[in-house]
Amino acid sequence: MASEFDLIARHFKWPAPAGVLGVGDDCALLLPVASDRRLAVTTDLLIEGRHFLPDADPEALGHKALAVNVSDLAAMGATPIGCVLGLSVPRADHAWLERFARGFRTLADAVGCPLVGGDTTRSLQGTVISVTAMGEVPAGAALTRAAARPGDDIWITGTLGAAHMALEVLQGRERATPDVLAALRPFLDRPEPPVAFGAHLIGIAHAAIDISDGLQQDLGHVLRASGCGAEIDYASLPVHPALEGFAAASVQRAVLNGGDVYQLCFTASAAMRQRITELAGRHGVRVSRVGTITQEGGLRVTACPVPLSPDDPAGFDHFG
């Protein structure tokens, strides 16, 4: 790309934090992580046609490319340090790049995850976005998937179902009024993972995961890693209010199996209820207590509006 260096300087060269060498040299130079802390690293790839459509709003795309990564940091209880961006685009479309960079940067500033480097190439076909985010977490205290204990409460931040239902409507599998779609769509386009709240769960929560592939699937990962099971009360799940007018079976599928949520599912002992509620209040995060970790394996969801059968591939028990 003839204008590769101009392109980077124009769109992606932002001031680096004090003591950090950011965009512009062969490597970024970051501050060391203290010996009693660990470096948390995560990466996600977004591919045109698979993860987003060619006409996706570039600002929302910039936001989401970073959001899906800081969501993983939040799910470990890590505090963001910085990120790098690999960008492969078919041409130097400055209007597109400017909006993409604005969406990315607005979230980076909001969650304190500065862009410190990357790589930019011309693609043969379509846009590919690869973001790697780094954070830090106290050694031995990260919210791993393996840390759930029988008797723990199960909590969820935010609401469920909106992002999935937005996609169903946009792809013509469900119908909704423009008002309802307008209420659902921000959850698909601009997920807002609770990053600072996640970091404050260190010492309070045991296990955590971010919901990217659906509650059943992602909680299933926690149960498998922790060697226990869970009971969820469907009536306690935080269904997004804009799902009200859809058929019961569609809502239930969106709530239990809908992905792209980028909120946390975490476990904590019952003794922590008040601290969690207060912490959530301080961070403006909605939390719902939805069930209990059990010794016996498998995931049971009680009081479902539409009965789950053991044969349901996305239902009753993923690994029983």
- Candidate segments 17-25, 38-46, 250-258, 292-300, binder of ligand ADP by CB under 6 A: 17-25
Kindly state whether residue 87 participates in binding ligand ADP, applying the rule CB under 6 A: yes
12 makes contact with ligand ADP (CB under 6 A): yes
Determine if 104 is a binding residue for ligand ADP (CB under 6 A): no
* Among positions 113, 115, 180, 243, the unique one binding ligand ADP when judged by CB under 6 A: 115
**Residue list 23-52, contact with ligand ADP (CB under 6 A):** 23-26
Q: Is residue 118 marked as binding?
A: yes
CA 161, 42, 231, 270 dihedral sign is negative
Query: CB under 5 A: which stretch of 112-120, 139-147, 177-185, 289-297 binds Mg ion?
Result: 112-120
Q: For residue 278, state whether it binds Mg ion (rule: CB under 5 A).
A: no
C-beta separation of 171 from 68 below 8 A: no
Beta carbon of residue 192, minimum distance to ligand ADP (angstroms, whole number): 22
* The pair of three-digit structure tokens given for residue 108, joined into one six-digit string: 């980076």
Residue placing its CB nearer to Mg ion in the complex, 7 or 181: 7
DSSP string, 63-119: HHHHHHHHHHHHHHTPEEEEEEEEEEESS--HHHHHHHHHHHHHHHHHHT--EEEEE
Spatial distance between the Cα atoms of 66 and 105, rounded to a whole number of angstroms: 9
The site map against ligand ADP for 275-294 (x = CB under 6 A) is --------------------
Find, among 302, 287, 288, 159, the residue nearest to 230 by Cα.
302
Report the residue from 69, 71, 120, 250 that binds ligand ADP according to the rule CB under 6 A.
120
One-letter amino acid at 30 equals: L
Please identify, among the stretches 119-127, 192-200, 266-274, 301-309, the one whose residues bind Mg ion according to the rule CB under 5 A.
119-127
Single out the segment in contact with Mg ion by CB under 5 A; choices: 105-113, 117-125, 238-246, 290-298.
Answer: 117-125
Encoded tokens for 120: 């930019």
Give the C-alpha distances (Å, rounded to integers) separating 173 from 42, 66, 176, 219, 261.
33, 28, 10, 26, 19
Binding site annotation covers 212? yes
What whole-number distance in Å separates Cα of residue 151 and Cα of residue 159?
A: 24
Shortest gap between Cβ of 69 and ligand ADP (angstroms)? Answer: 14
Amino acid, res. 96: W
Q: Is 85 in the site for ligand ADP (CB under 6 A)?
A: yes
Residue 113 interacting with ligand ADP (CB under 6 A): no
Judged by CB under 6 A, does residue 118 bind ligand ADP?
A: yes
Q: Which does 118 bind (CB under 5 to 8 A by kind): ligand ADP, Mg ion, none?
A: ligand ADP
Could you list the beta-strand ranges (E) of the chain.
Answer: 37-47, 79-89, 115-122, 128-138, 153-157, 208-210, 229-233, 264-268, 287-294, 299-302
Considering only CA atoms, which of 160, 157, 159, 274 is closest in space to residue 208?
157
Q: Which of 93, 109, 119, 278 binds Mg ion (CB under 5 A)?
A: 119
Query: Residue 4, interface with Mg ion (CB under 5 A)?
Result: no
Whole-angstrom Cα distance, residue 207 to residue 272? 13
Nearest to 91 by CA among 61, 64, 121: 121
In sequence order, the 6+-apart residues with CB closer than 8 A to the CB of 218 are 209, 210, 211, 212, 265
Binding footprint of ligand ADP, residue count (CB under 6 A): 13
What pairing do the DSSP bridges indicate for beta strands 153-157 and 287-294? antiparallel
Task: Number of residues interacting with Mg ion: please give it, by CB under 5 A.
Answer: 1
User: Can you give the binding site for Mg ion, defined by CB under 5 A?
Assistant: 119
Q: Which residues are annotated as a binding site for substrate?
A: 51, 260, 316
Which parts are annotated binding residues? 26, 42-44, 51, 72, 118-119, 145, 210, 212-213, 260, 316
Residue ranges at the known binding site for ATP? 118-119, 145, 212
- The residue ranges that bind ligand ADP (CB under 6 A) are 8, 12, 23-26, 85, 87, 115, 117-120
